Amino acid sequence: MSIGALDAAAAYGRALGVGKTGGAGIDIGKTGSGGAGAAGAAGGFGGMVESMVGNAATSMRTAEAASARQVAGKGDLIDVVTAMGAAETALDTVVAVRDRMVAAYSDIMRMQI
């Protein structure tokens, strides 16, 4: 059994709690500006990754909706292709950042003390 990229990203977004009905950008912005303890983490790398995952999940939902409209006969094929291209680019970016992060962590763990 294999899991498609859209399903995996949607599940990851749900696990993080991003992309709720209020919108991913709004939810992330509220958590990033609240409290002094969250200010250091939200403005750094973690906040960037969180917003990237939220944006990727949003673009995948947009592509899925465009595809559903096309299947129903109400959408344009060019809209589906454009939305799928944007979703693929967003997912590729998130995966590339994750891969670089894992490689950097591995390099740090191999360093001698």
Domain ranges for the chain, please list them: 5-13+38-110
What pLDDT is attached to residue 30?
Answer: 40
Give the closest residue to 10 by CA, choosing from 21, 2, 19.
19
What pLDDT is attached to residue 103?
Answer: 93
CA distances from 1 to 15, 36, 47, 109 (A): 21, 44, 33, 33
Residue 57 burial (CB count, 10 A): 25
What pLDDT is attached to residue 3?
Answer: 59
Q: Report, in this order, helix, strand and coil percent for the chain, each rounded to 5.
A: 80, 0, 20
What pLDDT is attached to residue 102?
Answer: 92
State the Cα torsion 64-65-69-71 to the nearest 10°. 20
Q: What is the pLDDT along the chain (113 residues), one digit of tens a residue?
A: 455 666 666 666 666 665 554 443 434 334 444 443 444 445 788 888 888 899 999 999 999 999 999 999 898 888 889 999 999 999 999 999 999 999 999 999 999 87
pTM of structure: 0.57
What pLDDT is attached to residue 49?
Answer: 85
CB 13 within 8 A of CB 19: yes
